[in-house]
A and B are shown apart, each in its own frame.
With several copies, the nearest count.
Chain A
Amino acid sequence: MITITNDTLDTEVITDSVKRDSNGAVVIFLGATRDSTAERKVLRLEYEAYRPMADNQLARIADEVREQWGISDFAIAHRLGRLEIGDLSLVVAVASPHRKEAFEACAYAIDRIKQIVPIWKKEFFEGGEVWVGSQEDACVKQDGSVAVGGD
């Protein structure tokens, strides 16, 4: 189950999609919108994706997990659009007979999502906004107005 959606992520549905009687272990990762980074208080986030390339890259990660751990009970759901603090942006669920493989595959998948999937996060904070991953582009206006990109 590979999903990119503007809707709220339903952890239970995603988890149920990987459960099977032969699986003794399910490892689930929830990525949530934090209220702060190292530098500042965050008000909300916005996610944008390049589709369908992002979908294809997620499917590639599922293939890698299948090849490396023999695990096919695997799900990723990524949220797009506007997220408030506490909202889930990412759910990864991995089930396998034993827990070691499920932990490894889950951590691996998240690392890969942050490497190869064309999805971008914009943080909105008091007085500005910034596309994360390209912090040199931070556009904080001193007058407190929200920067709307551009030069």
Chain B
Amino acid sequence: MGYGGGVRLIVRVKLFASYKEKAGRADIKMSLSDGARVADAASELLRLHPSITEDASRLTIAVNEEYQEHDYPLSDNDEVAFIPPVSGG
């Protein structure tokens, strides 16, 4: 909204299971442009850790512990969890 390099928002990314092992970490503070959506966080994750998977559009994501679509808008301080294929039971 007019501030020099643009307003940024910070989201708290959480990684689990295979994603966590491939990234080598469980938590990331991720900086995104204002107006960023889930899809943007997914692209940024694969830019940082391309070995996680090839297709960002197929990642399953929960925002603040609820599953959300890729066009879901993010807010500052959201918890964005990348959910590998689940295998409980």
Say whether A22 faces chain B, with CB atoms less than 8 Å apart: no
> Complex formed: what's the CA distance from A54 to B87 in Å?
12
B46-75 contacts to A, CB under 8 A, are 51, 62, 65-67
Q: Which chain B positions have C-beta within 8 A of A48?
A: 16-17
Contact A119:B88 (CB < 8 A) given known A56-B65, A131-B18: yes
Establish whether residues A133 and B62, one from each chain, have CB atoms under 8 Å apart when the complex forms.
no
Q: Which chain A positions have C-beta within 8 A of B83?
A: 50, 118
Contact A137:B88 (CB < 8 A) given known A50-B81, A53-B81: no
Establish whether residues B86 and A114, one from each chain, have CB atoms under 8 Å apart when the complex forms.
yes
Say whether A149 faces chain B, with CB atoms less than 8 Å apart: yes
Establish whether residues A132 and B87, one from each chain, have CB atoms under 8 Å apart when the complex forms.
yes
Contact A90:B88 (CB < 8 A) given known A137-B22, A148-B21, A151-B51: yes
Contact A131:B17 (CB < 8 A) given known A53-B62, A137-B22, A150-B24: yes
22 pairs, CB–CB < 8 Å, chain A vs chain B = A50-B14, A50-B65, A52-B65, A53-B81, A54-B88, A78-B88, A89-B88, A113-B89, A114-B89, A115-B86, A118-B83, A119-B86, A119-B87, A119-B89, A120-B18, A120-B86, A120-B88, A133-B85, A137-B18, A137-B22, A149-B18, A150-B22
Chain B contacts to A: CB under 8 angstroms: 14, 16-18, 20-22, 24, 51, 62, 65-67, 81, 83-89
